[in-house]
Amino acid sequence: MAIRVLVVDDSRFFRNRLKALIESDPELEVAGVAEDGARAVEEALRLQPDVITMDVEMPVLDGIAAVRRIMSRRPTPILMFSSLTREGAQATLQALEAGAADFVLKRFDQWARDAAEAGRELCRRIKALARGRRPAAPPSARLAAGPSAAAPLPHAAWRAVTAPRREAARAASGGLAAVLIGASTGGPAALQQVLAALPPAFGAPLLLVQHMPAAFTPLFAQRLDALSRIRVREAADGDPLVPGQALLAPGGRQMTVETGPGGARVRVREARPGETYRPSVDLCFASAAEALGGRVLAVVLTGMGEDGRRGAERLKAVGAEVWAQDEATSMIYGMPRAVAQAGLADQVLPLERIGPRLAAKA
């Protein structure tokens, strides 16, 4: 049975283009189209598609509002189309927070240059979402329902009040040098939920690798920082690993770990030819295995593909601990499945238990 797709875009040209690309795959069919967000909500309820592709900027009702309404009435995997502008990145992150599953860049130059490859990638994303889990509620609702969602004090207040406890936690830390977290599709919402569960006195540094373009990661780091009681910021080359602080790998580049006379630091470099993922979970994990040995806890969250499996192998070889998100709570059970099926996961946990377990660990 074909996977049924609802295409939503205010451009007739783009709707027709998407329809042709999607229907070039025999496993997919376009169940309907909509030219604005209000119509998209109506068609989502009427047609009950398997996947929806959604533009952000549309008349009558924008894509973000449409995502919220669809996810509250009939949760459906939604693939957003995003521009590379700052405004486009901000809107896409808001759509992901509202419940959208994933996004692709709306780059007409790339589509014109290699339409066949762009079409294959689009169809691959749609099929992965259709075969993945349908979220029961938008991430914001899941966060609000959890024990970690008690209204936090502003950062300045948290950090002033908890500074003594944070220093005590650092001193008492049993040698856990870093917590590494890798994610892809579904990762933005999953990372929010995990980090929101961590106390401000969290006693270990964190390194976060989320597959995301360069224009998105500074804004995503700011969003995570605002939602968390620990510090979160985009990593810069030479940043030290500091307990209670999370460094997010910059999009389009690679973040690794090294040790020296001043302690452990991250290195941020340009991606090299042949490196599929930019940033790469494998590269970050493998460098941590070499630099920090077994004093690492690595977590592989929801995501498409197998990035993280080879890095987890390197970590396990030096005695590090590895966790994987379970299938039931993963948007796409690709990356964590690869780790679990390879026998590399010490624990396979539902998303809602990962943050509290981390909080108790460090």
Catalytic residue numbers? 184, 211, 307
DSSP secondary structure string for all residues of 328-344: TT-SSBSHHHHHHHTT-
Strand 78-82 versus strand 51-55 pairing type? parallel
Q: How many angstroms separate the CA atoms of 249 and 255, rounded?
A: 6
DSSP secondary structure string for all residues of 205-258: -EEEEE---TTTHHHHHHHHHHH-SSEEEE--TTPBP-TTEEEEPPTTEEEEEE
Q: How many angstroms separate the CA atoms of 343 and 293, rounded?
A: 19
The tokens describing 238, both together, are: 């030479």
Tokens 């592709």 sit on residue: 53
Q: How many angstroms separate the CA atoms of 95 and 8, rounded?
A: 14
Positions of E strands within the chain: 3-8, 28-34, 51-55, 78-82, 102-105, 178-183, 206-210, 231-234, 245-248, 253-260, 263-270, 296-300, 321-325, 347-349
The dihedral region occupied by 43, where left means phi > 0, alpha psi between -120 and 50, and beta the remainder, is alpha
Mind spelling out the 3-state secondary structure of 149-163?
HCCCCCHHHHHHHHH
- Between helix 63-73 and helix 86-98 the angle, nearest 10°, is 10
Q: How many angstroms separate the CA atoms of 334 and 185, rounded?
A: 9
